[in-house]
Amino acid sequence: MRPDAIWRTAPVRGAAWMTCAAAAFVLMSWSIRALAPITASEIVFFRSLFGLVLILPTVNVPLRQLVRPRWPKLYLLRGCFSYLAMLSWFYPLQVLVLADAVALQFTLPLFTILFAIVVFREQVGVRRWTATAIGFAGALLIIRPGFVEVDIGMVLVLVSAALYASANMVVKKLSGIENPGVIVFYLHAVTLPLALAGAVPYWIWPTWTDVPWIAVLAVSATAAHYCFTRSMRASEVSIVMPFDYLRLPMIALVGYFAYDQSAQVWTWLGAAVICGASLYILKREAEIAQARDRAADQRPMIET
């Protein structure tokens, strides 16, 4: 098969877009680290401000719908979850070994599964329950409570993952009843004033050397979202999601060369356990969805 023909296949395009999303995520994480000692809330403010500017031209809905939203409580709830999630994620990026922070954030899919069970009453079998428990055990390998002093930054990463998962529950509810552009618009519209209120008491004016990093933050965050969306559209989730885990070796290289950080072996072992459990759950979800589709295709034949 010719190289250009290979690129046109859905799995390759999806994997390429997800790899780009992972690289953009790493750039965003690096910019957050580089902007210290600017506080996490102030960085969230800049992230929301530029995100709002970039998303506005793409929102193709009447102005009346933006001014008077149909689901204000859901937008407010999602915005609060997202603001607290970013706050508890950005601070660890400034104080932890970067690879440790990213490895622990891989618990996000595990929290999403737990919350989906509670909120949407989704049925989960023994094998997926077991995989979820093993995934959280991987997080304990990284934190190692009782063997080393538990770092508050590591705890905050897990809190952030849980908050992001909570925000995802609200997004799942909104996605069936609202325009995607409006959902993204209100994410920034709600987090912007919250972040400003949290930043003002500890405001640090950016220096000229901070300006390029703020630009990297704005562009990389938007690019990560765009590439992730393109990846989801290009191919199946079970095919593209493993490439999201490229974030760990990428961020480990940034930590090593930019900050002289070396991730411990426990970080790699814990990340391998978390990623393995998440990929198994993803595989099971794909198998269940395929079985459901086959059953739906066969049902009319049985009834006739």
**How many whole angstroms separate alpha carbon 265 and alpha carbon 154?**
16
Residue from 183, 224, 219, 214 nearest 45 by CA: 214
* Phi, psi at 107, each rounded to 5°: -75, -5
How many separate domains does the chain show? 1
Please check whether residue 27 lies inside any domain of the structure: yes
Only one residue has tokens 């149909």, namely 70
CA separation for the pair 163, 252 (Å, rounded): 24
Q: What is the dihedral of CA 272, 44, 49, 188, to 10 degrees?
A: 70
Q: Tell whether 3 is covered by a domain.
A: no
pLDDT band at 303 (very low <50, low <70, confident <90, very high): very low
122 confidence band (pLDDT: 50, 70, 90): low
pLDDT of residue 27: 96
Residues 219-231 have pLDDT tens digits of 998 888 788 877 8
The Cα angle at residue 161 between residues 75 and 167, in degrees rounded to 5? 15
| Model pLDDT for residues 155-198, shown as the tens digit of each residue | 999 999 999 989 888 888 887 777 777 888 888 889 999 999 99
Helix (H) or strand (E) holding 174: helix 152-175
Instruction: State percent of the chain over pLDDT 70.
Output: 86
Q: Is 1 among the domain residues?
A: no
**Per-residue confidence (pLDDT) for residue 6, from 0 to 100:** 52
DSSP state of 145: B
Burial call 39-52: b when 16+ CB within 10 Å, e when fewer:
bbbbbbbbbbbbbb
> Torsion-angle region of residue 222: left (phi > 0), alpha (psi -120 to 50) or beta?
alpha
Is 165 part of any domain? yes
Inside any domain, residue 64: yes
Q: With respect to residue 81, please indicate whether it lies within any of the assigned structural domains.
A: yes
Q: Tell me what the mean pLDDT of segment 34-43 comes to.
A: 94
- Got the DSSP string for 228-253? HHHHHHHS-HHHHGGGGGGHHHHHHH
In a domain, 2, yes or no: no
Which has more confidence, 304 or 90? Answer: 90
Domain that holds residue 17: 8-303
The pLDDT tens digits of the residues spanning 230-265 come to 787 777 666 777 788 889 999 999 999 999 998 889
More confident residue, 118 or 219: 219
**Mean per-residue pLDDT of the chain:** 83
Residue 134 lies in a domain: yes
Instruction: State phi, psi for 145 to the nearest 5 degrees.
Output: -65, 140
Residue 2 has pLDDT above 70, yes or no: no
Name the pTM for this structure: 0.84
